[in-house]
Amino acid sequence: MMTAPRADGATIECEDLVRIYSAEGVEVQALQGLTLHVAAGDLVALVGASGSGKSTLLTILSGLDTPTAGRARVGGTDLLTMGRAERVRYQRHTVGFVWQQTSRNLLPYLNGLENVCMPMALAGAVDEAHAGRLLELLGVAHCAGKRPEQMSGGEQQRVAIAVASANSPAVLLADEPTGELDEHTSAEVLEAFRHVNAELGVTVLIVTHDPTVSEHVRRTVQIRDGRTSTEVLRRRETDHTGTERHVAEEFAVLDRVGRMQLPQDFVAALDLKDRVRLALETDHVGVWRDGVRPIPHEETEER
């Protein structure tokens, strides 16, 4: 059990976020009005096809890039208007980052403990005992005296989580942290994120292609074409026999102005395209292919 002070997880609030890249006269809309709210202390996975905008969002949330338009706040810091000094403070104390490439997270000539102490030194307050406790919390105390090349890929990523947690950030961001690992080691690393989330209270956002990730997190958000499209929420439920089971429910994301994306398998199953008919019922909204006449509610009741 961790005895160090708990980080106060922070909320992540993105509203209508737009990021346009211009390269050689060609514009790419990487984020097209993305809305995402993550509650303080939550553990969320962000999934989506290649090019859907996941890394762009993480780069903005880490303070390395500024959005073209919209609103982005993390723990009350406005990421669009923060000045230089505030940005340095934000990157040092509010967010911690874990990258996919294990080599990018750790300095090769320092051992595990020295790597965890490095961000503390940059912030001006080294606490070796705290660094040791973080390595212990992540199950890699035995890596304190080892250099990265002497650790396995999974150990390197768990030490990297300790490094990212060194200055007690409110938010941990991770970009494909299991991308270079096998399935078993990936599961260990995802469990390590779950552990720091539970023990330190830090808000965690993990970008991943890993299809097994949703088994390790409460909430999985899917990005499609630069917007959040669907969400899967998992919870544990105990039935009348006392047996505990996991329940996963899928939701479509509805933004502030009422926009939503239909899941692609729904669109394909009903061959929906170009335009659809909508009908407001007392407790749901019906969607029909153009050309199919919806049966009014009263007619169905009369049958």
- Residues forming contacts to ligand ATP in the complex (CB under 6 A) are 21, 23, 28, 30, 48, 50-56
Least distance to ligand ATP from the beta carbon of 176, Å?
7
Considering beta carbons, is residue 23 or 285 the nearer one to ligand ATP?
23
Considering beta carbons, is residue 60 or 161 the nearer one to ligand ATP?
60
| Rounded Cα gap, residues 211 and 208, in angstroms | 8
Least distance to ligand ATP from the beta carbon of 23, Å?
5
Least distance to ligand ATP from the beta carbon of 66, Å?
13
Torsion on CA atoms 59, 151, 130, 172, rounded to nearest 10: 20
Which positions ≥6 away from 56 have C-beta within 8 Å? 19, 30, 31, 65, 226
Considering beta carbons, is residue 21 or 251 the nearer one to ligand ATP?
21
Can you read off the two tokens belonging to residue 215?
Answer: 């088994």
| Rounded Cα gap, residues 112 and 245, in angstroms | 38
Considering beta carbons, is residue 26 or 247 the nearer one to ligand ATP?
26
| Residue in 12, 36, 23, 62 with CA at minimum distance from that of residue 224 | 36
Considering beta carbons, is residue 28 or 292 the nearer one to ligand ATP?
28
Least distance to ligand ATP from the beta carbon of 95, Å?
17
Least distance to ligand ATP from the beta carbon of 96, Å?
19
Least distance to ligand ATP from the beta carbon of 19, Å?
8
Considering beta carbons, is residue 21 or 109 the nearer one to ligand ATP?
21
Contact 220, 44 (CB under 8 A): yes
Least distance to ligand ATP from the beta carbon of 146, Å?
30
Strand intervals (E) in 192-297: 203-207, 219-224, 227-238, 244-252, 276-280, 285-289
Helix, strand, coil shares, percent, the chain, to 5: 30, 30, 40
Burial zone of 205 (CB within 10 Å; 0-12 exposed, 13-18 middle, 19+ buried)? buried
Which positions ≥6 away from 197 have C-beta within 8 Å? 41, 43, 172, 203, 204
Contact 53, 20 (CB under 8 A): no
Considering beta carbons, is residue 8 or 225 the nearer one to ligand ATP?
225
